[in-house]
Structure 1
Amino acid sequence: VWKKIQSDLAWRKQGQRCVAARGPEHLGRWKCEPWTYHIDANFSSILPRYKDTEGFEGLGQSKVAVCVLGAPRTVMHTYTTIREQVVEALNADAFVYVPFPGFFAPALENEMRELGPVVTAMLVPDVSKTEFEARVVSELKNPDFFRLYGLATGPWRAPLHKQMGHSMWGYHNQHGCRRMLESFEHQRAWQYEWIVFARAEMFWTHKHPPLEALDPRFLHIPKGQDNNFYNHNPLYGINDRHAVVPKRWFKAYFNRYESILDGSAWSYLREIARNQWMINTEQYLLLHLQAHQVPILRFPPISFLSHCMEGPQCMHLYKGTDLGKQRWTTPFKYYTEALEVRRTTVDDTHYLVRLGSGWIWTALWPPQPWIWGNLKKKEQEKPIEKQQPHELLGSDVVCGLSKHGPTSSLSWIFYQRCECHRSAR
């Protein structure tokens, strides 16, 4: 028994490359082999070995990929909602990159089964801030880049230069996504049309917007949580928690880590250093996308970050207080984000859930400004505030439709019924 325990513990301390078949009750049946991360590691899938095995039928044949990135160290179970509301809603192939602290705990193993079938999963031992900084320094194409990034300050670079936070882990996880997808595309000999970035900590309240409502010429990002003007700088940011990426913009969105390693990020960070601005991850993402000339549209949010449990990638700021001894009172990490999700999903006239009461997703063309700030009666006659191109909505949840697009509907106000209106012409 002791030898079996030792063997199991040794296995759980190693990195693993896995695939998961369809099991009973939507649970995944996992098969793994030892795997170690390094910059030139093999990110290919082991799916071809099992493609003729029961439960693997049809896996890896979708046109859509969902990258579930990060560990679900949260106070709520998020993987079930990601499987049901994102992966299954989009009929997608799932790819997973999960850093685990210490060892791959049975609790995390059981939770990962909630994701169902998975084409490629990389389970990697997490590292401390010091170890992560050493990894980045060792992978830089030129050691001088580390000094340059020290001049562009702010949370965007955490934990480099002792910056508090975990931003670089997010870039690195997306690097893992890019490597897994490109490797599997080479294996199956055809590319994905859409790639969806889904953070493991996100709780999804409703099904993901259908791809038919999203213009394939644009990158699509949920509205809100842009965190503009950090530390009083003049820069806009953009939500970095979810993205729906057409293949044409795949490398531009998922290569922030590579841009740091090869120094190309300095082309837009130079001005940040010159002006001595501090920037956050949302501002860094927008700078990166603008440098690659990526067109962006937004859609109303229907997911929020759950509270995370403290660890290398989750810093709690209650030091010196007794908050660490108190139970969580809310499941969401940011109240404002939860409020934005409620605005999308709940109708305040009837207190009904819109997407369960006839409302549907539809594309908007031309793109429209976000109007929530003008809903107060005193402000209804004011012109809509001018918005930046990256802030415009490309899709929305609607109830009344005409051939010219969404329209207001008295039928909903009085009868709680959605309808399509015939045009007068």
Structure 2
Amino acid sequence: MWLKGALLTGGVGTVGTLAAELTCPAGPGGEACRAAAAPSWRSFERCAIPAGDDLGEPLLLTLAEAKDHCEAEEACLAFTFEGEDAESIEGPLSGNPVWVHFKTSFDCVDAPWVAWRKVGSVDSTAPGPPPASPQDLENARALSSFTGGAGSGVALCLLGQVRMLSHTHLALEQHLLQVLQPDVFLYGPREADHEPSPDLHSIQDYVADERWEVESIRDSLYAETRDSSRVLDLEYAQVQGNWFGSQCLDPPLRDNRPGSAVCSYYSQHKCLEMIQKKEIQRGQPYQWVVVSRFDFRWLAPHPPLELLQADVVWIPSGSDWEGGVNDRHAVMPRRHADAYLSSWKLLTSGRAKDVMLETLGAMKVNGYPGPNTENFLKARLHFFEVEYERFPNVAYLTCTLRSKSRWTQCFGTASNDAPGWLYKEEMEHATRIAKCVRSSWNRRKMKDCAEDISHLYRGLR
């Protein structure tokens, strides 16, 4: 079966099952795969599970032994032991055994104890995720009917500021579309129903589907998120950083956080839906999915697909802000697209914070300045065990003084309508590589033209 986990159509609302939901086949054929997914664990410091609901007597065990014991007992949902810190030198992570109390339910009261919860098992007291929509179920049935084969063709999602096409469309067509020959999918907002669709210039002939909606992403966010007040206004609001930027919403969320991350996640989700719909119509999956931006200014051709044959996500070099991974462009085999584009599903399922905690760690997630969108992408790739490679970048984000967002500045131009750049180091990096690549790629240039500028993004925002 070619497509794995196109939809979150059921299961319990836990992080431990999410990887199975997005990596096992949809429908009945994936039940055994999902059942075999090993549970994951989450620790809670200064948390004692109240007395009662004990699964037998306390046992003197190390942490690893306690997890194995609880995983072997279907009724075991958590365990707890006395101590101040889950990583204490005297605790079980040191290899020392402690008296462990196993529980059939999970609750937490403030006390000098540590609790571990099995978040990959069914907790009958926890509400399930929102039911799948009829359209989700129809898509799942249709997509699961595809068997075998690697697919054919390229699907390209173009996102971001469509108004920048007037400055970028010629280079975009020459250096990206003519190289990859993709079916292009476009999604974006419009102010009113009567507003005309944007001018697509020379990329119009490549468009397979476009959707311009009078949207209310804020309403969709609250409607689709289970227990939205707690998840959005409390749990997510406590995690700082532009990974949850909402100034693109009308009105923004309570903390008015800079950035447009929430809208970007929504656009990616909509684009994936359009790709799935097209695959059903054509009766065949795509072989590749590419995610890119309208406001990318291409200085040289994109690497051809024959140089990107490894079963990984290919990401351009540079822009790894705060230890994350460049989230502006990616080329991937179709089977990785659902994980790469899973941000909206993770957000609305209430699992985004837990995924980041599991992959980035508590210091990054709970500290200052918090995760950014690049960190969130890195977390998703690690969580779904998707490997990625880098190719030398030959494009940079362009802007004009007239066409820019309210949380960024535009440099390198003195005219309202002349193009400039958002990030000088990105522009200079792409310019140097483009001079090396010139008009064509080969395997040697993939290595010789590479340039590591990761040191420029450490400790910067």
Q: What is the TM-score of this pair, normalised by structure 1? A: 0.61
Question: Could you tell me which amino acid in structure 2 is paired with residue 145 of structure 1?
Answer: V
Q: Which secondary structure does the structure 2 equivalent of 1:141 belong to?
A: coil
Q: Displacement, 1:210? A: 0.5
- Name the counterpart of 1:244: 331
Question: Could you tell me which amino acid in structure 1 is paired with residue 378 of structure 2?
Answer: L
| 2:378 corresponds to 1:286 | yes
| 2:297 corresponds to 1:297 | no
Report the CA distance shift for 1:294/1:364 in structure 2 as closer, same or farther (over 3 A): farther
Q: Displacement, 1:277? A: 4.7
- Name the counterpart of 1:360: 441
Q: Displacement, 1:303? A: 1.1
Q: Which secondary structure does the structure 1 equivalent of 2:167 belong to?
A: coil
Q: Displacement, 1:317? A: 5.4
| 2:201 corresponds to 1:116 | no
Q: Which secondary structure does the structure 2 equivalent of 1:175 belong to?
A: helix
Question: Could you tell me which amino acid in structure 2 is paired with residue 338 of structure 1?
Answer: M
- Name the counterpart of 1:225: 319
Q: Displacement, 1:227? A: 0.9
- Name the counterpart of 1:212: 306
- Name the counterpart of 2:249: none
Q: What is the TM-score of this pair, normalised by structure 2? A: 0.57
User: As a proportion of its length, which structure holds more strand?
Assistant: 1
Question: Could you tell me which amino acid in structure 1 is paired with residue 231 of structure 2?
Answer: F
How far apart in 2 are the matches of 1:373 and 1:199? 22
Q: Which secondary structure does the structure 1 equivalent of 2:442 belong to?
A: strand
| 2:159 corresponds to 1:69 | yes
Q: Deviations over 1:333-372 (max 9, x none)?
A: 221111011111115xxxxxx423xx5232799x999555
Q: Which secondary structure does the structure 2 equivalent of 1:78 belong to?
A: helix
Report the CA distance shift for 1:309/1:138 in structure 2 as closer, same or farther (over 3 A): farther
Q: Which secondary structure does the structure 2 equivalent of 1:217 belong to?
A: coil
Q: Displacement, 1:113? A: 5.5
How far apart in 1 are the matches of 2:276 and 2:214? 23
Q: Displacement, 1:84? A: 2.9
Q: Which has the larger radius of gyration?
A: 2
Report the CA distance shift for 1:111/1:64 in structure 2 as closer, same or farther (over 3 A): closer
Q: Percent identity?
A: 24
Report the CA distance shift for 1:373/1:145 in structure 2 as closer, same or farther (over 3 A): closer
Q: Displacement, 1:330? A: 5.1
How far apart in 2 are the matches of 1:41 and 1:177? 19
- Name the counterpart of 1:315: 406
| 2:260 corresponds to 1:166 | yes
Question: Could you tell me which amino acid in structure 2 is paired with residue 99 of structure 1?
Answer: P
Q: Displacement, 1:190? A: 1.0
Report the CA distance shift for 1:363/1:175 in structure 2 as closer, same or farther (over 3 A): farther
For these two proteins, the number of residue pairs brought into alignment is 297
| 2:239 corresponds to 1:136 | no
Q: Which secondary structure does the structure 2 equivalent of 1:191 belong to?
A: coil
How far apart in 2 are the matches of 1:279 and 1:303? 25
Maintained 8 Å contact 1:142/1:262:
no
- Gapped regions of structure 2 (runs ≥ 5): 1-131, 139-150, 247-252, 456-461
Q: Displacement, 1:316? A: 4.7
How far apart in 1 are the matches of 2:305 and 2:349? 33
Q: Displacement, 1:103? A: 6.5
Q: Deviations over 1:282-340 (max 9, x none)?
A: 111111211111101000111111115668x821557xxxx999636752222111101
How far apart in 2 are the matches of 1:151 and 1:210? 43
